[in-house]
Amino acid sequence: MTPEDFDKYCQFIRVVTQRLNEHFASQKEYIFCKEGCSLCCENGEYPCTELEADFLKSGTILLNSEAKDKIFYNIEKCKADKNNYKGKKFHYVCPFLIDKKCSVYNFRPLICRVFGLSYYSELNEKREIKIPFCVEQGLNYSAVYDKDKDILSMEKFCSGGFKHEPLSTNLSPEFLKSKVGEDILGLNFGKEKPLLDWF
């Protein structure tokens, strides 16, 4: 990552963070994210682009040696587990999760930043609503979630006495990278693959 790309990416993160903070604030009645809850970091592939991986690595350099050793141990263990895995998709605990906290929080990929929100993604002119999987554990959006229909229910919203609607806006990582990062800031994110594959 060149210094220019680093500066542009930092600008991108500032813009995206502002948008996400505004949406998180508007949805706070439905959000149960708190320190110590790390469900979203314990079972995934954590897809990220080359640019995001480079930014993550730049944050790792700033950590103390004990944290770095723990992360590198976690990475090697995940790789060994993946080599022995016989299924289709290998899901794992993020190697940057230490004591249920993200050790590189300010440098985390976009997929981690949007998790917890309900948002929509438009692919091939089809709009798909993404609801965080923690809804199944009675967490984010669970009070307005209709499990049978797999939707956020207006009926539950109306009967629940909530002040703000459970809104979905286009905050998908693909949209933010394309429209904000590439079109506006001229960033080149590079190819995308699971986090573990960048190490």
- Residues 9-31: pLDDT tens digits? 999 999 999 999 999 999 999 99
| Residue 3: other Cβ atoms inside 10 A | 7
- Domain assignment present for 75: yes
Token pair 């903070």 in the structure block, residue: 21
- Domain assignment present for 160: no
Stronger pLDDT, 167 or 93, i.e. the higher one: 93
- Domain assignment present for 69: yes
Which sign does the torsion angle of CA 24, 25, 29, 33 carry? positive
State the pLDDT confidence band at 171, using cuts at 50, 70 and 90.
confident
- Domain assignment present for 187: yes
Q: Which percentage of the chain shows pLDDT scores above 90?
A: 71
pLDDT of res. 124: 60
Rounded Cα gap, residues 109 and 100, in angstroms = 17
Query: Tens digits of per-residue pLDDT, 104-150?
Result: 999 999 999 999 999 887 766 677 888 999 999 999 999 999 999 98
- Domain assignment present for 66: yes
Specify which residues 102 forms β-bridges with.
97
Contact 103, 63 (CB under 8 A): yes
Rounded Cα gap, residues 36 and 188, in angstroms = 34
- Domain assignment present for 142: no
> Mean of the per-residue pLDDT values for the chain?
92
Expressed as residue numbers, the domain containing 112 is 3-119+171-198
- Domain assignment present for 44: yes
The structural domain count of the chain equals 1
- Domain assignment present for 143: no
Rounded Cα gap, residues 143 and 30, in angstroms = 7
pLDDT of res. 123: 62
> How many residues are present in the chain?
199
